[in-house]
Amino acid sequence: MDRIRIRGGKILNGDIQISGAKNAALPLMIASLLTGKTLTLRNVPRLADVNLLLRILRNHGVDMTVDGKRAGEDGSLGETIHLSAATIADTTAPYELVSRMRASFWVLGPLLARCGEAKVSLPGGCAIGTRPVDLHLMALEQLGGKIDIEAGYVVAKAPNGLKGNRVVFPKVSVGATHNALMASTLAKGETIIENAAQEPEIGDVAACLVKMGAKISGIGSSTLHVEGVDELKGADHSVLADRIETGTYAMAAAITGGEVTLKGARADHLDSMIAALRQAGVRIDVTQSAMRISRNGNRLYPINIETMPYPGFPTDLQAQMMALMTMADGVSTIRETIFENRFMHVQELARLGAEISLSGDTAHVKGVHKLTGAQVMATDLRASVSLVIAALAAEGETVLHRVYHLDRGFERLEAKLQGCGASVERLAAA
Ligand code: EPU
């Protein structure tokens, strides 16, 4: 397995181009199942999760082509993919594929809505928590789906099509909102989705569905109104900028000091993180198409944050913020309210010299004056990148093992950091 070696202590200066958002690209690709026409997606990040989802979609019968390089392109702006599900050849998403990526479970709603049946493996637990799917199933049942669980599979049927209804989520779920929204575009009549997740990635998918002919209002709010249509058409859509990647590089720049411009960043999707970083003493200048992060020798102040559904502080930036706070002047409190087991980075950060104590869902991070390089292990996507952030500030050499976690969600991570002066290199598996 590949490893990444980081020699810490280099100040970051330069520009980083922000990629398309993984968590928008995946549901956008799944939306191709809703139509027989071609969906063109631009700015799709080159990620292991994207490749795995392409395999899953191919298994359902989706044809795909990827544009080659065009004159003047340097490969920094993602790929253009054309997806065409003229006929759905197979409505089963098998365990071998779904168990490797939870988001693939989201094919359930679109397949059921378009084909009247779907059989999708239960995704199972994962490193950050149990992650049930009860809300997905509840929503599809409310839209008239008949759901059974058989031998580890969700078997869903709606032979006469789905019917619009009021879907009230008792708890905010990004994935269940995606599933309900996509399914309801082809349901008969009106669907109202209440307590919907408001993450910008849902807005991006909704905007694409509208281009495909869906009738959706309330986009960006917690109540979505959908008037079902008989069929959707093709569309051309560019994936929005990744706010989690943006936040990650903002924290990398903040921990090393220096000045980094995040090109293409959507600061308007990061209010809670920007407020937290400013409170910590980091300077952030926002322009229409970029964010500049700078810290020039001044101290880092401790902060208190709690993860919350959007527009609250994102759970997907919790580990990175914790890494930054290991170097603050004082004690920070970080509470994780979304996933019950999303603190696996704590032990690994401790290997670099961080002082963190855990009590239930809360971590107390006592800032230290220096971190020291060590061998560390990636446990999940965001946890691994928090170790990269800490390693950039640590004295000496850090080697990060199990890099495949990073490759699931960060496009050209080493190249982007190297471009700002970091000493980061991939050591290929022996
Ligand atoms: N939940 C339920 N029942 C359900 C669904 C969710 O109880 O049927 C619970 C979960 O266990 C969790 C909470 O609701 O405690 C929120 O989970 P949500 O459904 O919102 O998460 P998700 O859709 O599975 C997406 C992102 C995650 C991100 C979360 C929260 C994608 C592909 N995944 O997951 O991203 O952490 O929303 O914002 O969009 C990542 O990119 O590293 C990642 C884990």
Ligand 1 pocket residue status of 132, Cβ below 6 Å: yes
State the Cα–Cα distance between residues 10 and 342, nearest whole angstrom.
29
Q: How many CA atoms lie within 13 A of 281 on its CB side?
A: 17
Token pair recorded at residue 400? 């990060």
CA-133 nearest atom, ligand 1: 8
Q: Yes or no: say if 51 and 104 are a contact pair by the CB < 8 Å rule.
A: no
Atom 18, ligand 1: which residue's CA is nearest? 173
**Nearest-CA neighbor of 359 among 345, 338, 343?**
343
Q: Give residue 142's pLDDT.
A: 98
Token pair recorded at residue 379? 């446990």
State the Cα–Cα distance between residues 353 and 362, nearest whole angstrom.
19
Q: What is the pTM of this model?
A: 0.97
Atom 28, ligand 1: which residue's CA is nearest? 316
Ligand 1 pocket residue status of 175, Cβ below 6 Å: yes
For a pocket test of ligand 1, which of 19, 22, 23, 134 has the largest count of ligand atoms closer than 8 A to its C-beta?
23
**Nearest-CA neighbor of 214 among 180, 239, 241?**
180
Q: Give residue 75's pLDDT.
A: 73
User: What is the CA(103)–ligand 1 centre distance, in A?
Assistant: 9
User: What is the CA(173)–ligand 1 centre distance, in A?
Assistant: 6
State the Cα–Cα distance between residues 230 and 8, nearest whole angstrom.
57
**Nearest-CA neighbor of 380 among 102, 157, 173?**
102
**Nearest-CA neighbor of 200 among 221, 180, 183?**
221
Q: For the chain, what is the radius of gyration of the CA atoms?
A: 22
Ligand 1 pocket residue status of 381, Cβ below 6 Å: yes
* Tokens 């929005």 -> residue: 240
Q: Give residue 125's pLDDT.
A: 63
State the Cα–Cα distance between residues 252 and 250, nearest whole angstrom.
5
Token pair recorded at residue 419? 């471009």
State the Cα–Cα distance between residues 122 and 60, nearest whole angstrom.
17
CA-135 nearest atom, ligand 1: 8
Q: Yes or no: say if 335 and 307 are a contact pair by the CB < 8 Å rule.
A: yes
Q: Give just the sign of the alpha carbon dihedral 81, 25, 105, 1.
A: positive
Local confidence pLDDT in tens for the 430 residues of the chain: 889 999 999 999 999 999 999 999 999 999 999 999 999 999 999 999 999 999 999 999 999 999 998 888 877 789 999 999 999 999 999 999 999 999 999 999 999 999 999 999 999 666 777 789 999 999 999 999 999 999 999 999 999 999 999 999 999 999 999 999 999 999 999 999 999 999 999 999 999 999 999 999 999 999 999 999 999 999 999 999 999 999 999 999 999 999 999 999 999 999 999 999 999 999 999 998 999 999 988 899 999 999 999 999 999 999 999 999 999 999 999 999 999 889 999 999 999 999 999 999 999 999 999 999 999 998 899 999 999 999 999 999 999 999 989 999 999 999 999 999 999 999 988 7
Q: Give residue 66's pLDDT.
A: 95
* Tokens 């569309």 -> residue: 235
Q: What is the dihedral of CA 162, 55, 408, 135, to 10 degrees?
A: 20
Contacts of 189 (CB under 8 A, 6+ apart): 163, 164, 227, 228
β-sheet with 397-401: strand ranges across? 375-377, 397-401, 3-7, 423-427
Q: Give just the sign of the alpha carbon dihedral 238, 128, 245, 399.
A: negative
Residues annotated as catalytic (active site), given as ranges: 126
Q: Give residue 357's pLDDT.
A: 98
CA-137 nearest atom, ligand 1: 8
**Nearest-CA neighbor of 232 among 208, 200, 261?**
208
Q: Give residue 72's pLDDT.
A: 82
Ligand 1 pocket residue status of 133, Cβ below 6 Å: yes
Ligand 1 pocket residue status of 338, Cβ below 6 Å: yes
Ligand 1 pocket residue status of 273, Cβ below 6 Å: no
CA–CA distances in Å: residue 365 to residues 26, 79, 136, 301, 307: 34, 39, 35, 12, 15
Q: Yes or no: say if 293 and 266 are a contact pair by the CB < 8 Å rule.
A: no
Q: Give residue 181's pLDDT.
A: 98
- For 43, left (φ over 0), alpha (ψ -120 to 50), or beta? left
